[in-house]
Amino acid sequence: PRWHPHAGISDNNPAFRTKSPLMNNQGYAATIWRNVRKSNKPSLWRHALRTYDRMIQHAEQTKDVVAVPSTTTTTTTTPRRRLKIRPSTIHHEGALLACAKLGLWKRALEIYHKNVLKLKDSST
């Protein structure tokens, strides 16, 4: 069967042989939770944690990016949209559950404290 786009995964991927397609917040959450909820599958739990790390890295790279105008054949410029990833509670909970199942308690505490400090900073 051919691959078809799912909700949260981009269907426009010119480098499909070398890179996986871009995902939005919904796609990352679905991938993390799909792999975390499996019972007795440590390799899938590690994959969920790697997906979370990739999402955090992508979010930090695109945090301060402004839309760059792209010129077309006409004289007008249209802004190119950049996919912005904003990690939310569902992503952090999935990563915490993966850490708990793998026994990575120090890593779970790092994720927890980083997000608690972020919540405190945003509330003040």
pLDDT in tens, 23-42: 889 999 999 999 999 999 99
Q: Return the pLDDT at 1.
A: 46
Residue in 8, 2, 54, 11 with CA at minimum distance from that of residue 27: 8
pLDDT in tens, 63-109: 776 555 544 454 555 555 667 889 999 999 999 999 999 999 999 99
Tell me the pTM.
Answer: 0.75
How far apart, in Å, are the Cα atoms of 53 and each of 9, 69, 74, 111? 17, 30, 41, 11
Which amino acid is located at 121 in the chain? D
What is the spatial distance between Cα 77 and Cα 58, in angstroms, rounded to a whole number?
Answer: 26
Considering only residues 24 and 3, tell me which one the structure prediction assigns the higher pLDDT: 24
φ, ψ (nearest 5 deg) of residue 48? -65, -40
Choice among 2-6, 16-20, 74-78 with the minimum mean pLDDT? 74-78
